[in-house]
Amino acid sequence: MSGVTLGRLAEAASLSKSGLFAHFRSKEQLELALLDEAARLAHVHVVEPAMRAPEGLPRLRGLVERWIGWPSRAGLPGGCPVASALFELDDSEGRVREHIAALEKEWRELLRSLTASAVALGHLNVETDIEQFVWELCGIYLSHHASARFLRDPAAETRARHAFDALLRRAGAALPS
């Protein structure tokens, strides 16, 4: 969120800084609105298409396939705003951090729900520790984010997909070799 400046946004929106500030009233309101827009874009580009897949593993795979690398497909060249904010605001307090925490909690609940459905339908082992599965899945995503954005590793997306497949295999999913 530190990369967000009123000047840059005002220029992109063809507004004056005072006009942009008058609309949002504060940088905090602007940051909250940007996070909400990022969540909306993620829903459109990741969640909605995935939910059209059959329940269980196909839906979970569809979500993860769309989740990895979604920001560039959604026109966000700066990467995932929530992933970036998790690191930037981890030591902060306030409404923006609380909002990010709520978005992250909601996302992880969706991942838990989809994983539980895959277990219930027999697509993953009944012994699958859903909390651990989601924890590792989020770790894959955050590692992808750091590798793609900070290290500029061209293999980041491939590595993330391989790691997800390995996680699925450990959970008993039947995957093609």
Higher pLDDT residue, 95 or 11?
Answer: 95
Which whole number is the average pLDDT over 39-54?
A: 95
Question: What's the pLDDT tens digit per position in 90-148?
Answer: 888 999 999 999 999 999 999 999 999 999 999 999 999 999 999 999 999 999 999 99
**Strands (E) located in 74-114:** none
Report the pLDDT value the prediction gives residue 52, as an integer from 0 to 100. 97
Share of the chain above pLDDT 70, in %: 85
Q: Is the pLDDT of residue 20 over 80?
A: no
The pTM assigned to this predicted structure is 0.86
What are the tokens at 120? Answer: 């219930």
Question: What's the pLDDT tens digit per position in 118-127?
Answer: 999 999 999 9
In angstroms, the first-to-last Cα distance of the chain is 41
CA distance 152 to 156: 8
Is 118 in contact with 125 (CB distance < 8 Å)?
no
Which whole number is the average pLDDT over 23-33?
A: 80
Is 1.10.357.10 the CATH number for 28-170?
yes
| Structural domain boundaries in the chain | 28-170
